Amino acid sequence: MPDPSRTEPDVDPPGFVVVVEPGDRIHFLDWGGAGEPGVVLIHGLSASGWIWAPVARRLIGARRTVGLDLRGHGLSDAPTDSGAYDLDVLAEDVVAVAEGSGLLDDQPAVALVGHGFGAIVAAAAAAVLGERCARLVLVDGGLDHLPSATGLDVDEFLRGLDEPPEVTRSMGAYLADRRDWDPASWDTDQERAMRAAVVETPAGRLVSATRPHALEASVRTMFGYRPDETLAAVRAPIVAIRRVTPGDEAAVAAGDALAVRLPEPVGGLTIVDVAAPGHNLLRYRPDDVTAAILGR
């Protein structure tokens, strides 16, 4: 069997689209690989499929792997219709990619893996897929009812997403800021992911590549998510990777209490705590995330 820890060379995966009703295009990267169950990777807010590169390059030694751009993000369309970013719609986009990529052509089920907001979407898609979802992995998201967990409302949360002007004044300043989060993990894949998240204006300043209406609608969907209802409808085994940083003891205890209150999913729920400096476990702890996906 191929070594699942092997990282492929820095080769860009090809991109494809699937078309969903009423004609919106959902973009995904096909990282290749072989092995069952195939894996669908789902990024979080204000990101794109490229953020999964460190994990995808490890997975393809053991699994066929694709990663989509959520609608309104990356190279996917950003519809403006009412309800276009509702959770059931986002879940159907994931199902469309699982089917349109060919992952479900030769195997009965796929593994769904989501990060942050993508974990919420992955959970909803797993409920839709039913027996066609072999495993659900939630990476630092998907367990909480955010209004209760954060004490914030949607508008407060949205204001907190604004980048400082000194970071967005130029591409150089922005990339330096992202590199300095953790210089040891900075590489060409990280730079590609960070560049994919912004657009450079003619004046040289940066704006988010995520369309403002899509970001706001996605955040409202995120705040309306009920983990007790969604996770109870998932039939597959669930693994939740939870970030732990120094000083998080109270938050971890609160998360443990929440997990106890959640209805026991049909396939069971396993929580794995991972020490990391920030939310982006795909960058900081790709080996741990890969191991959870592979069930090791």
Q: Are strands 38-42 and 65-68 parallel, antiparallel or unpaired?
A: parallel
- Contact, 144 vs 255, CB < 8 A? yes
Neighbours of 154 (CB within 10 A): 16
248 pLDDT band (50/70/90 cuts)?
A: low
Domains delineated in the chain: 15-145+210-294 (3.40.50.1820)
6 pLDDT band (50/70/90 cuts)?
A: very low
Strand ordering across the sheet containing 269-275: 15-20, 24-32, 65-68, 38-42, 110-115, 133-139, 238-244, 269-275
Residue 3 has pLDDT above 50, yes or no: no
Q: Can you give the three-state secondary structure of 142-164, one letter per residue?
A: CCCCHHHHHCCCHHHHHHCCCCC
pLDDT digits (tens, 9 = 90+) for 182-238: 999 999 999 999 999 999 999 999 999 999 999 999 999 999 999 999 999 999 999
Tokens 């999964």 correspond to: 52
Residue 123 has pLDDT above 80, yes or no: yes
249 pLDDT band (50/70/90 cuts)?
A: low
* Mean pLDDT for the stretch of residues 53-81: 98
Range in 72-86, 130-144, 245-259 with the lowest mean pLDDT: 245-259
* Cα gap 142→121, rounded to integer Å: 8
Residue 10 has pLDDT above 90, yes or no: no
Could you tell me the pTM of the whole model?
0.93
* Mean pLDDT for the stretch of residues 248-266: 59
Which is higher by pLDDT, 150 or 100? 100
pLDDT of residue 296: 78
pLDDT digits (tens, 9 = 90+) for 142-186: 999 999 988 999 999 999 999 999 999 999 999 999 999 999 999
pLDDT of residue 254: 56
**Average predicted confidence (pLDDT) for the chain:** 92
263 pLDDT band (50/70/90 cuts)?
A: low
